């Protein structure tokens, strides 16, 4: 069983602040990393993918990957109440199927107006 | 691009009946489709993985005779919950993955359908 761990939260931040979500994974051979957002009662929505060490920015979202330390993080700048959701970290490891993902249990984020 | 549809979105049925859920990738050919189940306030649980034209691979503890998966084409997979019981009530979500070379979807991303909420009375 490949482990992907996230702090379940809840993480509360005030509107306009930076929300920082962290994820660690156990398999050093993992190569693809994803962040999904899931609103209550809805299915997950892919918001970021990252494959190389370093930062990847998309709008207010920045994904950070450090393979040596086996962690991936998601920063949300200028947090909005609409960002309140559960954020799932997912990892793909070669040898377990090209599309197979191992999911963390998610971190629940609440942005306080 | 990368849209996955799921039908029906909600179903209520009596105990003992069978329910079929369809999952379609609308604008790309899905190499692999996945079926997940999610109980309230719990994390996603992978039930099975299916590739077009081959038998599904079920996760440990998932009864393959109860949850029948058919992956007839690169754009359609179905999950049939046979002889459903109240404990099968859950949120069933499919996802589709693609491993091609064009820019979107990117290699080995999974895209989720909107989910089907099943209630068995």
Helix (H, G, I), strand (E, B) or coil at B42: coil
With an 8 Å Cβ cutoff, is A40 touching chain B?
A: no
Q: Do B44 and A49 touch (CB under 8 A)?
A: no
Average pLDDT for A46-56: 93
**Band of pLDDT at residue A106, cut at 50, 70 and 90:** very high
Give me the pLDDT at residue B42, please: 87
Give me the pLDDT at residue A98, please: 65
Q: For the ranges A67-76, A99-108, B15-24, which has the lowest average pLDDT?
A: A99-108
CA-based nearest distance A72→chain B, Å: 16
With an 8 Å Cβ cutoff, is A105 touching chain B?
A: yes
Measured between CA atoms, the residue of chain A closest to residue B93 is A43
Average pLDDT for A75-94: 94
- Helix H, strand E, coil C: the string for A29-73 is CCCEEEEEEECCCCCCEEEEEECCCEEEEECCEEEEEECCCCEEE
Give me the pLDDT at residue B52, please: 80
Give me the pLDDT at residue B105, please: 46
Q: Look at B105 and B118; give whichever has higher pLDDT.
A: B118
Question: Cβ neighbours of residue B60 under 8 Å, at least 6 residues apart?
Answer: none
Q: Do A98 and B106 touch (CB under 8 A)?
A: no
Give CA–CA dist B74/B40, Å, rounded: 31
Q: Look at A52 and A95; give whichever has higher pLDDT.
A: A52
pLDDT in tens, B20-44: 999 999 988 887 899 999 998 888 9
A43 vs B contacts (CB less than 8 Å): 91, 93, 112-115
Give me the pLDDT at residue B104, please: 47
Q: Do B109 and A34 touch (CB under 8 A)?
A: yes
pLDDT in tens, B68-101: 999 888 899 999 999 999 999 999 999 998 765 5
Give me the pLDDT at residue B97, please: 85
pLDDT in tens, A20-40: 999 999 999 888 999 999 999
Q: Are B96 and B23 in contact (CB under 8 A)?
A: yes
């Amino acid at each position: 069983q490949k482990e992907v761990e996230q702090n379940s939260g809840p993480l509360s931040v005030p509107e306009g602040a930076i929300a920082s979500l962290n994820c660690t994974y156990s398999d050093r051979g993992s190569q693809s990393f994803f962040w999904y957002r899931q609103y209550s009662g809805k299915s997950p929505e892919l918001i970021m993918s990252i494959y190389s060490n370093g930062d990847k920015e998309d709008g207010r979202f920045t994904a950070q990957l450090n393979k040596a330390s086996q962690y991936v993080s998601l920063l949300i700048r200028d947090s909005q109440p609409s960002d309140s959701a559960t954020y799932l970290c997912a990892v793909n490891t070669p040898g377990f199927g090209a599309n197979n993902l191992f999911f963390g249990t998610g971190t629940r984020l609440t942005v306080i107006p | 691009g990368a849209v996955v549809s799921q039908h029906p979105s909600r179903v209520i049925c009596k105990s003992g009946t069978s329910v079929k859920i369809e999952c379609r990738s609308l604008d790309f050919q899905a190499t692999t489709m996945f079926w997940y189940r999610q109980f309230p306030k719990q994390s996603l649980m992978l039930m099975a993985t299916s590739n077009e034209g081959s038998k599904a691979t079920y996760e440990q503890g998932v009864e393959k005779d109860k949850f029948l998966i058919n992956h007839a084409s690169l754009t359609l997979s179905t999950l049939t919950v046979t002889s459903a019981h109240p404990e099968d009530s859950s949120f069933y979500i499919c996802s589709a993955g693609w491993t091609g070379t064009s820019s979107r979807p990117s290699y080995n991303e999974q895209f989720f359908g909107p989910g089907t909420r099943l209630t068995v009375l």
